């Protein structure tokens, strides 16, 4: 058996997913816009963003102060931005910002909306009325929820995220299935996510040591959202930016962002926070891709590339069966000749066999799976941008 000619290559299963760089950067890109999101989005070009994360007002409708059993005041969401006169007013507002989002979303783009029982059903229903197509709802189960102080209802321990495409026929949307599985120790990522609420050093505080914002979301939540449904260099829009959680994570993950926030104090904190974040290096942003998305490499390519030569021997991992490589990319074992798959199946008396994961070549006294050689070619193609 011949010694393989060594080829330098990237790991076989990791491919950078960069989309073409944004050539001349529009001024709204990677910026925080202060103002009403409906008006601000009207000034963005149509179909200009890849992903939207929206954390709209909840319309909590709190009647008076919420207190603990010791009568201390609970730091609940009672801000003006969360006040609406009626469900009708909330629905009209929801319809307006959803329509504005739909206009700027690319046909291949998707949108996430997070909410609680107070608003998420209304928002979801309006999304469907406007043509959005719900792909999943995710339950964010809070590891450390606020108790139900009055003891009159269940502890409200989760929020719901709706993930939707622009319409039912949407094609080419990003879902990094393999990456999420790898992230989750090789288990398929489920739709219930257990994550703590935003506390500790991540929570923005003002000079007096008070929370800057009542509903700052944890970065871990945005990490999953962006990792699962966007690619490096994608544009991520957040129409209700608050403290800039989505934009900070987008920047760290090498995505572009644009955020709209009507409160200038929140916007200032968001800008400072985003400026303090560093983009991860390119090689840290590559994700695992599905095998089917990788270019097809026939066995003959290994011969063309000089990795295996006609006359070389292939064998299985326990060296029970041996086959000779032929110049046309077929192999022969005794009287059986054909593809690596057909001969692999025949020598084992099986109906079918994946030859790539059955046959090995010898290199420096060790057996190397031919699938590994195929991976090297794929790595080189990816490095060349093919």
Ligand X SMILES: C[S@@+](CC[C@H](N)C(=O)[O-])C[C@H]1O[C@@H](n2cnc3c(N)ncnc32)[C@H](O)[C@@H]1O
User: What are the residues binding ligand X (CB under 6 A)?
Assistant: 36-37, 55, 57, 81, 213, 215-217, 240, 242-243, 245, 260-263, 266
| 211 DSSP 8-state letter | B
For residue 363, what are its two tokens?
Answer: 């290199």
Nearer to ligand X, 84 or 358 (CB): 84
| C-beta of 140 vs 359, nearer to ligand X | 140
Q: Between 18 and 211, whose beta carbon lies closer to ligand X?
A: 211
Q: Side by side, which strands form the sheet with 133-142? A: 31-34, 256-261, 235-238, 49-54, 105-115, 158-165, 133-142, 192-195
Instruction: Give the phi and the psi of residue 282 in degrees, each rounded to 5.
Output: -50, -45
Task: Name which of 37 and 237 has its Cβ closer to ligand X.
Answer: 37
What are the backbone angles phi and psi of residue 228, rounded to the nearest 5°?
-80, -30
Q: How far is the CB of 266 from ligand X (least distance, A)?
A: 5
CB of 243 to ligand X, least distance (A): 4
Provide, rounded to whole angstroms, the least separation between the CB of residue 153 and ligand X.
22
Minimum distance from residue 247 beta carbon to ligand X (Å): 10
Q: From the CB of 267, what's the least distance to ligand X, in Å?
A: 9
Residue pair 154/211 in contact (Cβ under 8 Å)? The answer is no
3-state helix/strand/coil string of 19-39: CCCCCCCCCCCCEEEECCHHH
* Minimum CB distance to ligand X smaller for 202 or for 362: 202
Smallest separation, CB 203 to ligand X (Å): 10
Angle at 235 between CA 44 and CA 380, to 5 degrees: 145
Q: How far is the CB of 268 from ligand X (least distance, A)?
A: 12
Six token digits for residue 333:
């074992």
SS3 296: coil
Residue with smaller CB distance to ligand X, 97 or 299: 97
With vertex at residue 183, the alpha carbon angle to CA 8 and CA 223, rounded to the nearest 5 degrees, is 110
Quote the least distance from Cβ 320 to ligand X, whole Å.
59
Question: Helix, strand or coil for residue 205?
Answer: strand
Give the shortest CB-150-to-ligand X separation in angstroms: 23
Residues in the chain: 386
Largest CA distance in the chain: 89
Nearer to ligand X by Cβ, of 57 and 109: the residue is 57
Q: Report yes or no: 207 and 24 within 8 Å, Cβ to Cβ.
A: no
- DSSP type of residue 320: -
- Euclidean distance between CA atoms 311 and 300, whole angstroms: 13
> How would you classify the pairing of strands 331-333 and 322-325?
antiparallel
Identify which of residues 243 and 333 has a Cβ nearer to ligand X in the complex. 243
Q: Which is nearer to ligand X, 19 or 206 (CB)?
A: 206
**Counting Cβ atoms within 10 Å, is residue 245 exposed (0-12), middle (13-18) or buried (19+)?**
buried
Pick 90 or 266: Cβ nearer ligand X: 266
Distance CA 59, CA 87 (A): 9
- Shortest Cβ 136–ligand X spacing (Å): 19
């Amino acid at each position: 058996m011949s010694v393989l000619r060594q080829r330098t290559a990237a790991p076989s299963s990791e491919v950078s997913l960069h989309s073409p760089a944004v050539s001349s950067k529009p001024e709204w890109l990677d910026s925080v816009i202060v103002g009403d999101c409906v008006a601000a989005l009207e000034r963005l070009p149509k179909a200009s963003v890849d992903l939207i994360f929206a954390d709209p007002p909840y319309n909590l409708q709190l009647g008076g102060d919420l207190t603990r059993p010791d009568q201390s005041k609970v730091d609940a969401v009672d801000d003006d931005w969360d006040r609406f006169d009626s469900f009708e007013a909330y629905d009209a507002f929801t319809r307006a910002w959803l329509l504005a989002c739909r206009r700027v979303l690319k046909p291949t783009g998707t949108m996430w909306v997070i909410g609680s029982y107070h608003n998420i059903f209304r928002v979801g229903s309006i999304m469907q009325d406007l043509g959005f197509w719900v792909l999943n709802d995710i339950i964010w189960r809070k590891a450390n929820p606020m108790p139900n102080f009055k003891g009159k209802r269940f502890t409200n321990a989760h929020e719901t995220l709706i993930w939707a495409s622009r319409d039912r026929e949407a094609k080419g949307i990003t879902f990094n299935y393999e990456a999420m599985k790898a992230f989750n120790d090789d288990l398929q990522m489920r739709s219930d996510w257990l994550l703590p609420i935003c506390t500790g050093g991540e929570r923005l505080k003002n000079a007096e040591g008070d929370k800057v914002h009542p509903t700052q979301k944890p970065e871990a939540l945005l990490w999953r959202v962006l990792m699962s449904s966007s690619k490096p260099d994608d544009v991520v829009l957040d129409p209700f930016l608050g403290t800039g959680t989505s934009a900070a994570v987008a920047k760290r993950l090498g995505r572009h962002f644009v955020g709209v926030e009507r409160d200038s104090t929140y916007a200032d904190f968001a800008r400072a926070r985003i400026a303090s974040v560093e983009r991860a290096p390119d090689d840290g942003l590559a994700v695992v891709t599905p095998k089917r998305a990788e270019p097809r490499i026939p066995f003959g390519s290994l011969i063309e590339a000089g990795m295996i030569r006609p006359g070389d021997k292939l064998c299985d991992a326990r060296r029970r069966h041996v086959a000779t490589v032929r110049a046309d990319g077929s192999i022969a074992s005794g009287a059986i000749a054909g593809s690596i798959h057909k001969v692999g199946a025949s020598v084992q008396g099986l109906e079918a066999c994946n030859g790539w994961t059955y046959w090995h070549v010898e290199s420096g006294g060790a057996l190397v799976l031919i699938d590994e050689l195929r991976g090297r070619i794929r790595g080189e193609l990816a490095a060349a941008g093919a």
